[in-house]
Amino acid sequence: MIATRARSTAVALVALAIGAVGCTSSSSNAIAVTSTDTTCVPARTRLDAGKLTFEVTNKGKQTTELYVFGEGDKVIDEVENVGPGTSRTLTVDLAAGDYQLGCKPGQKGNGIRARITVVGKGGAVQAGTKAADRDVELTAVDYSFQLADPGIKAGETIRFVMKNEGHQPHDLEVFTPDNKVLGQIDQTDPRKTGTATLTFAVPGRYRYICDVADHQARGMKGAFTVAPT
């Protein structure tokens, strides 16, 4: 009887071990970027075209940022407020071309640059394409947006920079005059900043909302007018 119990226990332990191995999660596909106060080092510098996620880890003593630059130092996108010992991700949709990553210790200056090359087909933003004509900043609080009239004209490409000064996560979803989704800033945690680059092809009234939980119903909505060129 003792031998039988021992064999049963051994089988159970082996099965548990196999189950544990089977449940191990796979590693992320993000490209790691290590930022210090003096360096900016991506794990890989030759990448396939399409949506790419960079995960920057701050191993320095100062808060840093991560930028993706195209030709002529054109900012394609960025992630801010990466504190010491923390990580944040930045996803961009890049076509083939030469780009630079830029880490900004202390959140100032031109940053520490690292060249990357994107190859293959796909991607929405080209290295030589101007990602945005200008930035428009807004603030999200509980439960409203603080956004002055952005004065957008048809044909402009605008990078919206949303700072979440509330105590809850918020996002920003923008709709065209015919009520189709133009684009959005993904859900952004309190004290963080989210961005989205949108092109306003036609004039008209564009509305925007926070699509998190019941935030729209509680007042997180608004609209602005895009003028003809």
Tell me: the pLDDT tens digits for 104-128?
999 888 889 999 999 988 877 666 6
The pLDDT value given to residue 131: 61
Provide the pLDDT confidence category of residue 169 given band limits of 50, 70 and 90. Answer: very high
In sequence order, what E strands does 49-180 have?
50-58, 64-69, 75-82, 87-94, 97-103, 112-119, 134-141, 144-146, 157-164, 170-175
Tell which residue, 72, 73, 54, 50, has the closest CA to residue 64: 54
- What are the phi and psi torsion angles at 130 (to 5°)? -70, 120
The dihedral through the CA atoms of 36, 38, 42, 43 has a sign that is: negative
Residue at 138: amino acid letter: L
Q: Are 90 and 188 spatial neighbours (Cβ–Cβ below 8 Å)?
A: no
Lowest mean pLDDT among 17-21, 35-39, 64-68: 17-21
* Average pLDDT value for residue range 58-79: 88
- What are the phi and psi torsion angles at 22 (to 5°)? -65, -25
| Of residues 209 and 197, more confidently modeled | 209
**Structural domains of the chain, ranges and CATH numbers in brackets:** 31-119 (2.60.40.420), 134-226 (2.60.40.420)
Lowest mean pLDDT among 129-138, 150-159, 177-186, 200-209: 129-138
Q: What are the pLDDT digits (tens) for 80-109?
A: 889 999 999 999 988 888 999 999 999 888
Q: Are 9 and 17 spatial neighbours (Cβ–Cβ below 8 Å)?
A: no
Can you tell me the distance from the alpha carbon of 186 to that of 173, in angstroms, rounded to the nearest whole number?
A: 8
Compute the half-sphere exposure of residue 79: CA atoms within 13 Å on the CB side of its CA: 22
The pLDDT value given to residue 108: 84
The pLDDT value given to residue 213: 93
Task: Classify 109 as helix, strand or coil.
Answer: coil
- What's the pTM? 0.51
Long-range contacts of 166-172 (CB under 8 A, 24+ apart): 166/140, 166/141, 166/142, 166/190, 167/142, 168/142, 168/212, 168/215, 169/212, 170/140, 170/210, 170/212, 170/215, 170/220, 171/210, 171/211, 171/212, 172/138, 172/140, 172/145, 172/196, 172/208, 172/209, 172/210
Is the pLDDT at 1 greater than 60? The verdict is no
Could you please report the per-residue DSSP string of 4-44? Answer: HHHHHHHHHHHHHHHHHHHTPPPPP-PEEEEE-SS-EEES-
